[in-house]
């Protein structure tokens, strides 16, 4: 475009290149060539900044490459309208883009808005950045990727990239990081150590997707996502899906009840490990198939814990600390309303045999099963934890745990899980004196429509468990069986010690020691 050399007075400062000086206009059907020519002019003449100014709209109909050492600065009053299906901006190493609004208005769009390739080999001390941009899909197709990082071949890598203050609306995926599967560890690719800060995601089907491996040769690890705010809509399917390692996610996820399906909003894959999540989500909204991933929230701390005897894993509440063993004998336990069990009894929920249970079928939310544990005659002191362990893939869809801290007093909600998918619900019930617990259960998570309660358990800071006999004494509920040759020693009032045993005829024998 040779005419661009006849610069008007407004175009005399060539250190800062305005796209209008290269023929860009809100009246054009495609301003991409003018923007690309402004970028190419900067590269050829060793300038660094291209600007798009004013309160204007420019239509883009073909791809743009922001080349190395070029900064594209867009006024906040500028909107770029994307028509067609193409990769809108590709950033090279040490390139940057900031400001403005990018709007997708074409139903055919199913590409990436801002794309970075690992072929650029972006590493520490780079100046590559994306900031202060509003990226919107105005169609109702929910297609395309807003920000896309990809490594496709050996020695592709993206590291220490800075992405800040981005608003993303109504895409299939807001932020997508992917390393293609490579086999040779001596020729790897990776997406590591990138920083995403102050990201606002609204109505995307998938918020943040990390697709790759937790280790070389196609590693995705050590990326940080801080200040994330996600608004869920009916079309939202997952907020975070992660297959990498040592990635950190910190933010707030809003209104998961709006999602069409009962939400498992966060998923760590089986090859993920050592990722950290701090959010407002309960553990029942998180599917963690990996190892050593840590998930915390202001409401609870979700660790890889299991209820007593569950799957042979380490326990938060051990059997010998469970104060509800044989609760049906020691307290008043009853079902207040809802369908009768089709199998098992409530008493099965308070023994140490994990596969004994009480089973329910197709319980509607309008008629939930309500179970009450009444400790009024012997109130429990300093209760600090209560939980329910359900059968594997036989869990109710809704779980409500309430408790009473005074006789006939008000009910306090300890845990309300309207979209349960977990096999174990652990609630931190903080009660100095506990009189009653009420469990309200309904729905199901599998097509067989069943839910099964294997165990109801609790722990106190003051009372000892009931599944063992403390050395300080207590009541033993159940049989005491000693191995052959073992015996009981009793001490008489005068201090004498007597051994008590039994012979083959069932006779009790006492022997003074």
CATH (domain of 142)? 2.160.20
Return the SS3 of 393.
coil
Instruction: Give the span between the Cα atoms of 403 and 411, in whole angstroms.
Output: 5
Q: What is the DSSP string of 126-137?
A: ---EEEEEEEEE
Same domain, 130 and 207: yes
Structural domain boundaries enclosing 84? 16-300
Same domain, 293 and 324: no
Instruction: Give the span between the Cα atoms of 180 and 212, in whole angstroms.
Output: 7
Q: What is the pLDDT of residues 68-96, one digit of tens each?
A: 999 999 999 999 999 999 999 999 999 99
Residues 6 or more apart whose Cβ sits within 8 Å of residue 465: 318, 319, 320, 321, 322, 323, 325, 459
Distances (CA, A) of 440 to 335, 390, 394: 10, 14, 16
Instruction: Give the span between the Cα atoms of 31 and 100, in whole angstroms.
Output: 15
Per-residue pLDDT for 314 more than 60? Answer: no
Same domain, 261 and 324: no
Same domain, 115 and 226: yes
Residue 64's pLDDT band, with cuts at 50, 70 and 90, is very high
Tokens of 428: 């931190």
Last residue of a domain, one of 300, 335, 356: 300
Distances (CA, A) of 312 to 284, 354, 504: 20, 11, 37
Same domain, 382 and 238: no
Total count of domains within the chain: 2
Tokens of 442: 């309904």
Instruction: Give the span between the Cα atoms of 462 and 94, in whole angstroms.
Output: 61
- The CATH number given to whatever domain includes residue 430 is 2.60.120.260
Same domain, 197 and 291: yes
Q: What is the pLDDT of residue 311?
A: 40
Per-residue pLDDT for 210 more than 60? Answer: yes
Instruction: Answer whether residue 492 is part of any domain.
Output: no
Instruction: Answer whether residue 476 is part of any domain.
Output: no
For residue 260, report the phi and psi dihedrals to the nearest 5 degrees.
-65, -45
Question: With pLDDT > 70 as the criterion, what percentage of the chain qualifies?
Answer: 89
End-to-end CA distance of the chain: 111
Instruction: Answer whether residue 1 is part of any domain.
Output: no
Same domain, 444 and 326: yes
For residue 281, report the phi and psi dihedrals to the nearest 5 degrees.
-85, 140
Q: What is the pLDDT of residues 190-207, one digit of tens each?
A: 999 999 999 999 999 999
Same domain, 290 and 345: no
CB 414 within 8 A of CB 449: no
Instruction: Answer whether residue 429 is part of any domain.
Output: yes
435 or 318, higher pLDDT? 435
List the beta bridge partners of residue 434.
380
H-run or E-run covering 64: strand 64-66
CB 265 within 8 A of CB 283: no
Same domain, 196 and 107: yes
- Does the pTM of the predicted model rise above 0.85? no
Neighbours of 55 (CB within 10 A): 9
Instruction: Give the span between the Cα atoms of 122 and 144, in whole angstroms.
Output: 24
Instruction: Answer whether residue 54 is part of any domain.
Output: yes
Instruction: Give the span between the Cα atoms of 369 and 62, in whole angstroms.
Output: 59
C-alpha count within 13 angstroms, C-beta hemisphere, residue 61: 7
Nearest to 256 by CA among 219, 286, 226: 286
Which of 164-178, 323-337, 363-377 has the lowest average pLDDT? 323-337
């Amino acid at each position: 475009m040779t005419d661009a050399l006849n610069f008007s007075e407004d175009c005399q400062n060539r250190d800062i290149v305005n796209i209008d000086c290269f023929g860009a206009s809100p009246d054009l059907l495609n301003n991409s060539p003018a923007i690309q020519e402004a970028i190419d002019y900067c590269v050829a003449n060793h300038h660094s900044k291209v600007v798009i100014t004013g309160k204007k709209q420019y239509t883009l109909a073909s791809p743009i490459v922001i080349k190395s050492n070029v900064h594209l600065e867009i006024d906040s009053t500028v909107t770029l309208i994307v028509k067609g299906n193409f990769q809108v901006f590709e950033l090279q190493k040490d390139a940057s883009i900031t400001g403005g609004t990018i709007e997708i208005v074409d139903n055919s769009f199913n590409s990436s808005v801002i794309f970075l390739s690992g072929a650029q080999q972006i590493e520490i001390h780079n100046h590559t950045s994306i900031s202060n941009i509003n990226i919107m899909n105005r169609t109702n197709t929910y297609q395309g990727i807003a920000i896309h990082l990809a490594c496709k071949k050996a020695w592709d890598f993206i590291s220490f990239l800075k992405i800040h203050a981005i608003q993303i609306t109504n895409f299939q995926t807001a932020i997508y990081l992917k390393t293609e599967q490579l086999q040779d560890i001596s020729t790897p690719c990776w997406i590591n150590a990138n920083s995403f800060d102050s990201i606002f995601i609204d109505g995307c089907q998938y918020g943040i997707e990390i697709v790759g491996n937790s280790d070389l040769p196609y590693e995705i690890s050590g990326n940080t996502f801080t200040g994330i705010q996600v608004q869920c809509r009916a079309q939202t399917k997952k907020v975070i899906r992660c297959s990498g390692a040592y990635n950190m996610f910190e933010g707030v996820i809003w209104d998961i009840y709006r999602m069409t399906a009962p939400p498992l909003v966060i998923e760590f894959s089986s090859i993920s490990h050592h990722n950290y999540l701090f959010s407002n989500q309960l553990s029942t909204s998180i599917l963690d198939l990996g190892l050593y991933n840590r998930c915390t929230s202001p409401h609870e701390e979700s660790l890889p814990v299991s209820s007593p005897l569950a799957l042979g894993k380490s326990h938060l509440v051990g059997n010998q600390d469970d104060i509800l063993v044989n609760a049906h004998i020691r307290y008043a336990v009853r079902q207040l309303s809802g369908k009768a069990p089709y199998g098992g009894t409530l008493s099965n929920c308070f023994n140490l045999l994990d596969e004994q249970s009480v089973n329910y079928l197709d319980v509607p939310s309008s008629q939930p099963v309500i179970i009450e544990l009444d400790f009024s005659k012997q109130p429990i002191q300093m209760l600090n934890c209560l939980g329910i362990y359900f059968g594997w893939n036989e869990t109710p869809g809704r779980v409500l745990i309430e408790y009473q801290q005074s006789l006939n007093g008000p009910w306090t909600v300890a845990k309300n899980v309207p979209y349960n998918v977990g096999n174990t619900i652990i609630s931190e019930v903080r009660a100095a004196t506990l009189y009653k617990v009420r469990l309200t259960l309904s729905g199901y998570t599998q097509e067989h429509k069943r839910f099964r309660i294997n165990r109801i358990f609790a722990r106190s800071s003051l009372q000892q468990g009931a599944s063992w006999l403390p050395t300080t004494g207590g009541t033993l509920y159940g049989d005491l069986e000693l191995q052959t040759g073992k015996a009981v020693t009793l001490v008489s009032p005068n201090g004498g010690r007597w051994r008590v045993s039994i012979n083959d005829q069932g006779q009790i024998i006492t022997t003074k020691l």
